[in-house]
Amino acid sequence: MTSRTATKKKPTQSGYVPCACRDCMEIAIAGPGEKKAYCAACEEAGCPDHQGVAGMSQECRAPGAYGDDDAC
């Protein structure tokens, strides 16, 4: 019996956090002491500018956030 299912390790190292953007599944890199960060795509799309701001859209504006990229 040598068949084994490889278990993927989640990136738990400090510095890697899930993107703070609500709809984004990317991994972002937080600086030391930071608890949340946005991935590069969200930064570029301006998500940090409207996410968490009352009265502003909370949706992700980064391209591909909703599974544009079907190629698995």
Residues within the interface to Zn ion (CB under 5 A): 19, 21, 24, 26, 39, 42, 47, 60, 62
Cβ at position 63, least distance to Zn ion in Å: 10
Burial grade of 4 (CB within 10 A; 0-12, 13-18, 19 or more) = exposed
Cβ at position 70, least distance to Zn ion in Å: 19
Task: State the Rg of the chain over Cα.
Answer: 15
Cβ at position 25, least distance to Zn ion in Å: 8
- Of the chain, the end-to-end C-alpha distance in Å amounts to 30
Pick 14 or 25: Cβ nearer Zn ion: 25
